[in-house]
Every structure is written in C-alpha cells, then in structure tokens.
Structure 1
C-alpha cells in the first residue's frame, strides 16, 4: 500500500500520531489516554500532518502560529515547525520533504514572514531554505570559585521575593511581552497561555517529568516587577557536606539591575555548590557578573533557532538598521517561495525593499543564508569566505555586515 501523507482529520488519530512522535524521539511508545487528552488540547488538527503506512502513523509534522521579535523590537508572524519525526523504518522516502513543502506553501499563503524551528540535527533543514539564525549557550558555575560575597543580602535597590505558580501566571505574560519588545531581543518568541500552564504545572499528566520549581520575582523600588527566575534543585550530600545543584529553567529581566539581582540571588542560595544556567544567549552577561568569570564553564554553545524566509520585503522593511546603505540582493530559492532580486535601501529612519529584476546584484546567496543573516548574528564577510555568499561588487559583504549586524547577539530562550 502506498504511503498516505495528509492532514489529520479526527482526534481519534492523535494516539497513533503521538506514538509516532515518541518513537521518533526515542521515547517510550506507550502513550496514555491521559497524555493524549492533555497534549491534544494544544494540537490544531488543520496544521498537523501525518504519514501513514497501512493505517500506522510513521511520520509526523506540525506547525503553530508564533510571533518573533526582530532587530529593533518589532514583532513578525512566523510558522513555527515542531514535532518533526520519521520512524526509523521509513527513512529516506521523502516523507519530510513532502510534509515540509506543503507546510511552507500554506505558511506563505497565510502571510507568515518566515518559518522557524529548533533543529535537532544540523544537516537536515538547509535543503528546505532554513538557515541557523541564533545560537544558544549554557554555563555551569562553581559557586565557591566565583569570588562573590556569600553574605550577599539582596539588591541595593528593590527586592527579590518568592512567588507561587499563580502569581507567575498572573505577572509573567506581561513581563515577557515587555521583555521581547525591547530593541535587542531579536529571536525571542511569544509565550501563549498554554506555555505558562505547562511551565507552571497547571497542565500536567502522569509521567510528564515535570518538577515543581521555585519562582523568584525582582521588584524595583516602586514595587513593579522587573524580572523573574524559575529554578529547580538537585539535592546531594556527601559526608555531611552539601553538593546541591541549581538548574535555572528561565530567567527574564527587563533591566540590568534586575538581571544582576536575580543571578546574585541564585548564586548565593545556601547549600548550593553549582548552578546550571539553562539556555542563555551566547553573549550572556553571566560570566562577567562574576569576580572570577572562569568559574562559569561553558557547557554548550551551538546553533539553535533556524529561519526560513517567506516574505523578503516584509522581513527587511520591519527590522531596524543603525547605518545608511543600499544593497541589491540576489536570493536563490529552489522552492520558488521567496527568491528573486531585491533592492534594500535602509537607514536609522527606516527601510524599503523593492523588486530589482533589472539591476545588477551586489550580493548573491541562497535564501537560507538570508535567514542566517537576518537577526544580525552572522557575518556576510564570513559567509563570503566560506563560499556561501558571492560578492558581485567589492565591499558588498562589508556593507551587508554594517547593515545587518546587531550590538547584542540574537537569542531564542524557548524550545518549541
């Protein structure tokens, strides 16, 4: 029987689809009715594809609506790709290519500016026009080596207090929206209501491996929330000596003062010898907050968020630029979704991007390389040196860097 690739049409198909997701990610194939009921609430059937062989689901693919901050603080709609799997028995049959192709066409038709995903494997997604746009980092801090005063008693201005899950669900969404609207938070995505329900334990099922965390909120001198941190503790004692590790789940701060206060709090908890930072921006300030930055040992530094351009003029006109310049880009797109020649005229007062079919190109690159450059984290000069961008006019790559690079590196704090 031929493989049937299609959109799910009934909730009755969810158990088999979720079982295929678990198989693809090397998890237990047992999916309980409770898990189906809880997870199914967040799955929009019309945006969920499955590959079926004789009625058995052997491939999965799903998209969700997403809002992403771009350089300058504007927010653009993205088609977020998730739950991508192909069962080991059905690899190399073009299942992902067919599901991805259909999803990208639908995303462009909806008016999404780009598609986004977190790549489990690096080599897969470049063939579909995605490029790595933001990296992530994680540090482990040996508290005794930091040089921080263990008698630290809290911020000089404002205060930090414990909060419960209800309070985080109350103040968290607005604080996060204020955070991602800041000019240098490119790559940060929205957190819909279901995110807060899952990450505060309101939406659970047996075996979901959720550990109730501690929550701490920083308030300024006027009592306004300016930051929050969520963390769990792995408890261990050796010979009556504490060897406990704090695992930060998320730390969000609107001001440098709040960021410093929350990190100092986490690093001064009694009986804690190590702190794992959780996923942070690759240029996070954490190591340099310490008198001895070497106490923060880099554990992870890798590509994370990938972008696939779908509406080039909208993308380029929506972000900010700190310098003036004009650049003609020749974008190659094998899928025919977003390629062509575009003239970008940009500066601190705004930008315009128009068709430039009859003009000579300054810079030639595949559409995925625009995804790599867009959030300001990569260098066009470096791409040219790698042969991933071609200069048609001398200095075009340097001009692209002057236009696209940002003062802080792009970062996406969330897995989706």
Structure 2
C-alpha cells in the first residue's frame, strides 16, 4: 500500500489528460473508458495549471479542477470566484489526505490571484465544511400536476400581448448569453456562463459522452418585441389505458428576466397538448412558479436541498461588495482553520455602502468562515445558526443585528451546475 508521501499531487500534463478523465469517470460512477471525442470536448473546459491530479505511480487516483468565475453578490455586483469542480478520490485511495492537499493548493493559489470567494456544488454534504465552505443557496424542483393546476385549457398566448416562439439552437446561442447576463446582474448567487456552456447545451460540443438529443426551445418576447425569457425543455412519450396521454415535459433550464416572462413560459409549458406533468428543473426555493398557478398545490416539491457552497477568501472585499438595505455595524470574529482569511473585522454598512476593516475591538459574533459563507448571500440566518450552536454571540442580540444587515427579501439562487 502506498503511503501519503508516495502519492504525488500536481497539475496534470497534456499527456496525462486521458488518464485524469478515466479517474474522473470512475469517481462519478461512469464508464471508465472515455471516448477520444469526449476527451477532446472536455479539454476545452480546462485551464492550464488548475487541473490537479493525485498520482500513485503513473496512475491518476484523484482529480480536481478549478476555473475563473464571476458570482453575483447581493445588489448585483459581480465578484471574482474560484469555481471548483470535478473533485474525486478513487475508492482505493480514500483517507490519505488527497483532497485536503488538492484543496489547499488550489485555495492558496486563488487567494494569491485575488479571488474574493471560492464556489462549488457539493455532491456530498459533510465534506466541504472542513475546508471553510458553507451552503449559501438552496435549490428546489417542482412537479406540476397540469390538470389540477386550474389553468385555462384553451390558453394559446400570453395575456400581456407578448408571444411565445419556438426557436433552434442557433437562436439560443445568439440570444441566450445576453439574456442570462441580464438575469445574473439582478440575481444574487447567479454565476457567469462561458461560450462553451451555450455550445454544450445546444449540441455543438458533447462533454458528457452520451448521445445528444435536441431539446425544444421556447422564447418569450414582450408586447414591444423585447426578448425577456427563454426555456429549454424535453418531453417523453407515455400513454395510459384507453389512449390517455401521460406525458411529462422536463425543463432543462428557464430564464425569465421579468415576472411576465416567467408567467408566460410556465403557462406555455403547462398548455402543451398531452403534457400532464411539468418538471421544473433547478429553481429558487421562492420561485414564482407555484403561485403563478390558480391552485399552487398542483406544484409539488420533489427536491429541495443545498446547492451553491461559498468559501470566503477575502472577508473585507466580500462584505464590501454587497449592498445593505438597513444601517448598522457589527464586529465579527472569523475563525478560519485554513489560515486564509481569519481575524476580527468591523463591518459598518448602510444603503449608501459598506466598509469592513480589521479590528481590535471585542467581537460581537464569533463564527467559522464557512458560516460567513452561508450568511454572505443573504439566505442563512445568524439567529438560527446561533440556536444550532454554529455561531456564538459575545454580545446579546448580535445575531439579530447581523440578520438585519445580511438577510435579503428574495432568496439567492444559482441556476447552474458546474
């Protein structure tokens, strides 16, 4: 059995890329043999020096990848993020500190680059708190029982004078990026999308190794012709006894930059002939969808779980980047076992801006950097975390003060998996 010191953790070379992909597939329970065309498609996703592998001899036994990302803070300002993905450790090499070594190397480099936060989507909950990440957004999926929803079965067009058009992948690549930029400028928790993202979602490249099937794309234009919404969806073909349709439409993704666009797209999806169920895909937990239906109970929650995790790398920059509806101050003692951004910080915030600087004053609230990551986008509650014993009040009422500063009226949402 190899010792920890026998296993080399390093950025992979071009020649090692196929073996790295084999280890990646193995870790995610996919067939270990990766087709050459899939390897080449995935190669476009990788940044030199930021794809790490752990090697036992000449065999890759753990994988790790990061890339540049922008994450929208509360108020709409984008911050630089170190996005982490493709994290695996082969089952034969667990409990040897391989993930810890890869994570430490990557986060140190991100801190050196000046990234404000690191982000990831956690496949397993217990892992990433050890490295200073906290769950900062929640994802919810609904299944809409269309016959029960109470919508007009004769619905044919939006009531606001807008229109729905079916478009193709070329239209999506042309119109989608700007539409998504409008969404993420207004949506805390949203992340940037690359050109490759749009190519992969429209069949130009295939990074998954499964046969591509073209979805349907529905575009919403307002009454004045402005593009305000876009959805990608697929439908199955299922029939019951006596030729009764039992079809399901599943949404891959849906962008609506106005409530009118969301209403029109959801009503369209629920009006498609034969469709009895609409599956929403990944949505915000306070999405408008259920209450766009005459009977909100027709939208049944099928999944609700943590989604985007945030690791603060620069406390001052993160807290100064976001906006605040109220005015107040607090001294936060941030505990960071990773040694990247711990210390005591005084936050002075209000509607006209914020300042955050190191402080020698007594702390009002003591919290781990992971809890600060959970609070930063406005979704978590310091009062609730205090009740759970995950933050500690040094001054009575400090958790309520922090909640009044940090919590938001609409919940943050990350529409993407990465």
The match for 1:194 among 171, 190, 196 is 196
Match of 1:232 in 2: 234
Checking the alignment, whether the CA contact within 8 Å between 2:200 and 2:207 is kept in structure 1 is no
Q: Can you list the C-alpha shifts for 1:320-350, whole angstroms capped at 9, x where unaligned?
A: 1000001100000011101101100000000
CA RMSD of superposed structures (Å): 1.0
Matched, 1:173 2:177: yes
Match of 2:12 in 1: 8
Checking the alignment, whether the CA contact within 8 Å between 2:35 and 2:209 is kept in structure 1 is no
**What are structure 2's unaligned runs of at least 5 residues?**
none
Q: Can you list the C-alpha shifts for 1:289-308, whole angstroms capped at 9, x where unaligned?
A: 11111111100010011000
Measured in 2, the distance between the counterparts of 1:117 and 1:187 equals 12
The match for 1:410 among 397, 402, 412 is 412
The match for 1:324 among 319, 324, 327 is 327
- Give secondary structure in 2 for the equivalent of 1:345: strand
Closer, same or farther in 2 for the Cα pair 1:82/1:379, shift >3 Å?
A: same
Closer, same or farther in 2 for the Cα pair 1:219/1:325, shift >3 Å?
A: same
Measured in 2, the distance between the counterparts of 1:44 and 1:21 equals 16
Matched, 1:340 2:343: yes
The match for 1:350 among 349, 353, 371 is 353
Measured in 1, the distance between the counterparts of 2:401 and 2:153 equals 48
Matched, 1:71 2:71: no
CA deviation after TM superposition for structure 1 residue 238, in Å: 2.1
- Give secondary structure in 2 for the equivalent of 1:127: helix
Matched, 1:164 2:163: no
CA deviation after TM superposition for structure 1 residue 205, in Å: 6.5
Matched, 1:47 2:50: yes
Match of 1:279 in 2: 282
Checking the alignment, whether the CA contact within 8 Å between 1:211 and 1:232 is kept in structure 2 is no
Match of 1:149 in 2: 152
CA deviation after TM superposition for structure 1 residue 288, in Å: 1.0
Match of 1:216 in 2: 218
Checking the alignment, whether the CA contact within 8 Å between 1:283 and 1:408 is kept in structure 2 is yes
**What are structure 1's unaligned runs of at least 5 residues?**
none
Q: How many residues align?
A: 412
Equivalent positions of 1:4-403 (< 5 A) are 4-9=8-13, 11-156=14-159, 157-182=161-186, 185-204=187-206, 207-239=209-241, 240-356=243-359, 358-403=360-405
CA deviation after TM superposition for structure 1 residue 209, in Å: 4.2
Compare 261-270 and 238-247 and name the one that shifted more. 238-247
TM-score by length of 2: 0.97
Measured in 2, the distance between the counterparts of 1:228 and 1:377 equals 26
Provide runs of 4+ in structure 1 moved above 4 Å: none
Measured in 2, the distance between the counterparts of 1:160 and 1:206 equals 30
Closer, same or farther in 2 for the Cα pair 1:301/1:110, shift >3 Å?
A: same
Checking the alignment, whether the CA contact within 8 Å between 1:34 and 1:206 is kept in structure 2 is no
Q: Can you list the C-alpha shifts for 1:88-122, whole angstroms capped at 9, x where unaligned?
A: 00000000000000000000001100100000000
Measured in 1, the distance between the counterparts of 2:246 and 2:115 equals 48
Checking the alignment, whether the CA contact within 8 Å between 1:135 and 1:303 is kept in structure 2 is yes
TM-score by length of 1: 0.98
CA deviation after TM superposition for structure 1 residue 206, in Å: 8.4
Checking the alignment, whether the CA contact within 8 Å between 1:64 and 1:79 is kept in structure 2 is yes
